[in-house]
Amino acid sequence: MNKLMSAAILGACALFCSANVQAAFPEKPLNVVIAFAPGGTSDISVRMLAPKLEKIFGQPLVITNKGGGAGVPGLNTVLQAKPDGYTISAPATPAFSASIFLKGKPYNLDDMTFAAGYMINDRILLTKPDKPYKTWQEFIAYIKANPGKVSIGSGASQAAMEVLKSIAIKENLDVNFVMYKSGGEASADLIGGHIDACELGVGTAAYQAARKGELSVLANLGTGEVPDFPAVPKLHKDLGYEFFTTVIYSFILPKGTPEDIRARWESAIKEALDDPELKETFHKAGFAPAFLSGQQAKEFSENELKTIPAMLEYNKQFKK
């Protein structure tokens, strides 16, 4: 009897508290932890969103950058924070694949709460327009005609590099892969003609050059729509390759965050993304804003977490 009583009181308390929270949230500044260094796509995109979110919440956003370790330490600090909705990580999703590549403990996506996804970060394969190949098919044919002569760079994405390797295996290509530390470094070498083609994220310097026609796009390594190049074929959907890489940039809360607070974040992010002014800023930078509900973002990331180990297994056949 006593147990029942206390349970009832506890339950009532919880109800009361959560109702209270719903009315008041947010009643103090919100902490946003960007798991990457300032100046990159991750940082810029979150900071573009921030003023809109501040207006919607009526509270300032305190943004801190906790870079390094491919986003893993940044996400981890948030996951250990109090699950009250006042500490959130963005864009946390790149840490999932990074933990696999860094041979760390893979994330269990049930150990966190997905607020929402706000941007699709696809990778595209770029080349110079003066090259003899203009399309993906011509590019493959060119590599086959010139074995060992073609170099493809990667603007610092392990996942994209693995996707390209899986294609080299499937098409039996003799090609050189060159890894870069940043998109900027890779862009410079592509424009300077030191490598023949390069995969890069949307919104990088090379992407801007492609918009101007100084570089051309051969393929999309992901599944999203690249805003300025709708006709570019997607490796998985259009060309029938098995593997692909797409990262949904998402806001992630610690496990155990109350559902009503999570939903408040979700609706705020949706509202911010509907703003035409924000859409314009994103578009100018070459970013592809896209709203995904927390559930959708989670499913998408789960799928990604499953394909990477399969791809790495397949790529063991790759000979240097």
Partner 1 sequence: MLDSLMAAFGMVLDWQNFFWALFGVTFGIIMGAIPGLSDNMAIVLLLPFTYYLGPIPGIAMLMGLSKGSNFGGSIPAILFNIPGTPQAMITTFDGYPLAKSGKSGKALKTALFASVTADTASDLVLMFLAAPVAAIALRIGPPEYSMILLFSLVLISLAASSSPCRGLIATALGILLSTVGCDPESGTPRFNFGFIELSDGINIMPMAIGLLAFSEVLRQAEKWYDERHAKECSECVHMSERGTDGDRLTLAEMRSCLPTIGRSTLIGSFIGIVPGIGTTVGAYLSYIWSRKKSRTPEMFGKGSLEGIAASEAGNNAVNGPNLVPLLTLGIPGNLAAALILGGFMIKGLIPGPQFMESNAPMLYALFIVLLLSNVYTAVIGGVFIHFARRLTGIPKAVLYSIVPVFCVIGSYASKGSMFDVSVMFIFGLLGYVLNKLKISMPTLIVAFFLGALLEHKIRQSLSIARGDWMIFVDRPISCAFLVMTLAVLIFYILRHARSGQPAA
Site residues for partner 1 per CB under 8 A = 37-40, 43-44, 47-48, 51, 63-70, 72-73, 101-104, 148, 151, 158, 176-181, 184-185, 187-189, 191-195, 205, 208-209, 212, 214, 280-281, 284-286
The neighbouring-strand residues paired with 61 are 30
Query: Contact, 244 vs 235, CB < 8 A?
Result: yes
- Residues 300 and 297: their CA atoms lie apart, in Å, by 5
Name the residue nearer to partner 1 (CB basis): 49 or 252.
49
Name the residue nearer to partner 1 (CB basis): 82 or 279.
279
| CB burial string 16-47: b at 16+ within 10 A, e below | eeeeebeeebbeeebebbbbbeeebbbbbbbe
Name the residue nearer to partner 1 (CB basis): 6 or 64.
64
Per the document, the length of the chain is 320
- The label of the residue with tokens 């573009």 reads 48
Q: How far is the CB of 314 from partner 1 (least distance, A)?
A: 16
Q: If you write DSSP's letter for every residue of 175-235 in order, what string do you get?
A: -EEEE-SSHHHHHHHHHTTSSSEEEEETTSHHHHHHHTTSSEEEEESSSS--TT-TTSPBT
Q: How far is the CB of 102 from partner 1 (least distance, A)?
A: 5
Name the residue nearer to partner 1 (CB basis): 129 or 148.
148
Name the residue nearer to partner 1 (CB basis): 18 or 59.
59
Amino acid occupying residue 165? K
Query: Contact, 297 vs 92, CB < 8 A?
Result: no
Name the residue nearer to partner 1 (CB basis): 178 or 290.
178
Q: How far is the CB of 21 from partner 1 (least distance, A)?
A: 28
* Coil vs helix vs strand at 291: strand
- Residues 4 and 1: their CA atoms lie apart, in Å, by 5
Q: How far is the CB of 105 from partner 1 (least distance, A)?
A: 9
Q: How far is the CB of 260 from partner 1 (least distance, A)?
A: 29
- Cβ neighbours of residue 267 under 8 Å, at least 6 residues apart? none
Q: How far is the CB of 189 from partner 1 (least distance, A)?
A: 6
Query: Contact, 253 vs 24, CB < 8 A?
Result: no
Name the residue nearer to partner 1 (CB basis): 185 or 274.
185
Q: What is the DSSP letter of 257?
A: -
Query: Contact, 221 vs 235, CB < 8 A?
Result: yes
Name the residue nearer to partner 1 (CB basis): 51 or 224.
51
Q: How far is the CB of 128 from partner 1 (least distance, A)?
A: 12
Q: How far is the CB of 181 from partner 1 (least distance, A)?
A: 6
